[in-house]
């Protein structure tokens, strides 16, 4: 990857089964790319994308090095936009947690309703899953807060 510009950015990595939670610094580079389309497609024009490549600086011993190659159709021509793409990628952990809550906590898959009834139920369960995710986040970040201070619907 050609180095259009380079900068460093700190991010918080949440704990996973393979990694302990930690704050880490990433070296970030970005540039435009053209991806070749598969031969099976009639339109073989290359697809213009932008690559944001981030790799961990000084990975702690015993941990797996963080290395991300992010491809986006967002125009990335400056440090601020590259930083935004990196920040958006870090949201994936919350999205994964939301889906886990939606499937396990709300047990959405156990309901087998007709299409119209399912739309209403999924809408209702989505709100519940978001609120459970918010409460989980608040509990992790403010474990000593009083329940009255973190009420479900302010």
pLDDT confidence of residue 31: 94
Scan for tokens 């009083």, then name that residue: 146
pTM over 0.75: no
pLDDT confidence of residue 114: 59
pLDDT confidence of residue 83: 95
Please state, in angstroms and rounded to a whole number, the distance separating the CA atoms of residues 81 and 102.
Answer: 31
Please state, in angstroms and rounded to a whole number, the distance separating the CA atoms of residues 137 and 56.
Answer: 25
Instruction: Give, rounded to a whole angstrom, the gap between the first and last alpha carbons of the chain.
Output: 47
pLDDT confidence of residue 45: 84
67: CB partners within 8 A, 6+ apart:
54, 55, 56
Please state, in angstroms and rounded to a whole number, the distance separating the CA atoms of residues 39 and 28.
Answer: 32
Mean pLDDT by 10 residues, the chain (154 residues): 72 83 93 88 85 94 92 95 94 84 79 68 83 79 73 52
Please state, in angstroms and rounded to a whole number, the distance separating the CA atoms of residues 34 and 94.
Answer: 30
Return the domain boundaries, the chain.
6-90, 95-150
């Amino acid at each position: 990857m050609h180095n259009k510009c380079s900068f460093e950015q700190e991010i918080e990595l949440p704990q996973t089964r393979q990694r302990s939670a930690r704050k880490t610094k990433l070296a970030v580079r970005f540039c435009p790319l053209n991806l070749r389309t598969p031969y099976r497609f009639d339109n073989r024009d290359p697809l213009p994308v932008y690559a944001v490549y981030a790799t961990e600086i000084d990975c702690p011993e015993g941990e797996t090095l963080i290395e991300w190659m992010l491809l986006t159709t967002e125009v990335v021509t400056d440090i601020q936009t590259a930083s935004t793409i990196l920040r958006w990628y870090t949201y994936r952990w919350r999205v994964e947690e939301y889906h886990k809550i939606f499937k396990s906590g709300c047990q959405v898959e156990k309901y087998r309703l007709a299409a119209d009834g399912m739309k209403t139920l999924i809408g209702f369960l989505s709100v519940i899953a978001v609120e459970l995710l918010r409460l989980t986040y608040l509990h992790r970040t403010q474990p000593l807060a009083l329940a009255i201070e973190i009420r479900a619907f302010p």
